[in-house]
Structure 1
Amino acid sequence: MNKSELVSTIARRTELSEKDVNAVLGEFITVVGEVVAKGTDKLTIPGFISFEQTERKARMGRNPQTGEQIQVPATKAVKISAGSKLKKVAKGEVQP
């Protein structure tokens, strides 16, 4: 399912306009990005999903073409974790 299909499905189920659903989804994405970029907070939707910034330490890597060792610098990344309810849905233990 892509974004436009998601917007259409939510609009149909909630009887909201696709324009309104798209606006809400867009703002949700913006807020998640702001929280992750800030790096001090974690955005959690209990039982469903959480988003947070994480740091990856500098490490030694290997160039796959030459086999030469290279230094991989420290960087920041996003960690996305599924909540317990979402995990149970994925396992087929409960209905969505």
Structure 2
Amino acid sequence: MTQKPMTKTQLVAALAEATGADKKTADANLAALTEIVTKEVAAGGAVTLPGLGKFACRARPARMVRNPATGEQMHKDADRVAKVTIAKALKDVINA
């Protein structure tokens, strides 16, 4: 059941075929979408792609973590991470 993930080239080709555009236009659209989502999430906002999911930025507090190699406890500063919540429609299609 495990298969290789779709590459960018394959995604651009599939997008071009689905929209009836050429690959150059599809690549430009994909790059624009990536840039928009990246800027919004980096600014602390969220972007919902209907049918796919929601991309958001989440703040994590400072905490103590353990080095798995040595077992040593160390302090990790607060940081921000990207979070993706999968849409219910996509979950339903996957589990159908």
TM-score by length of 2: 0.88
Shift, 1:47, TM fit:
3.2
Q: How far apart in 1 are the matches of 2:57 and 2:34?
A: 15
Report 1:59-70 matches (<5 A): 59-70=63-74
Q: Deviations over 1:10-37 (max 9, x none)?
A: 2122220000000000000000100111
Residue in 1 that maps onto 2:40:
35
Number of matched pairs: 91
The secondary structure found in structure 1 opposite 2:70 is coil
Report 1:1-96 matches (<5 A): 1-39=6-44, 41-92=45-96
The secondary structure found in structure 2 opposite 1:60 is strand
What percentage of aligned pairs have identical amino acids?
A: 36
Moved over 4 A (4+): none
TM-score by length of 1: 0.88
The secondary structure found in structure 1 opposite 2:68 is coil
The secondary structure found in structure 1 opposite 2:11 is helix
Q: How far apart in 1 are the matches of 2:91 and 2:8?
A: 22
